Amino acid sequence: MCYSVVVLTVRWRSAAHDTGSAWERLGLGIRYALASLALGPWGLPWGPIWTVVAVWTNLTGGVPDQSADD
């Protein structure tokens, strides 16, 4: 998620969610994407840029799992 206030833009990652299907990931991602679209593009210059990145990440299933279980 991304939110902005005039010249401050903050990118925030939610907690990891264990999902069973791509549709479940999309359902969760839509909520965060809508929040980013509403709150993100207002900070200049990085607000619009990071908002697009956050929405893309949310709608494509998030980031890969970083915890490698060896």
Contact between 54 and 37 under an 8 Å Cβ cutoff? The reply is no
pTM: 0.79
Lowest mean pLDDT among 3-7, 56-60, 64-68: 64-68
Phi, psi at 20, each rounded to 5° = -100, -20
Contact between 47 and 3 under an 8 Å Cβ cutoff? The reply is no
Read off the pLDDT of residues 28-49 as tens digits, 9 standing for 90 and up. 899 999 999 999 999 988 999 9
Give the C-alpha separation, 45 to 25, whole Å.
30
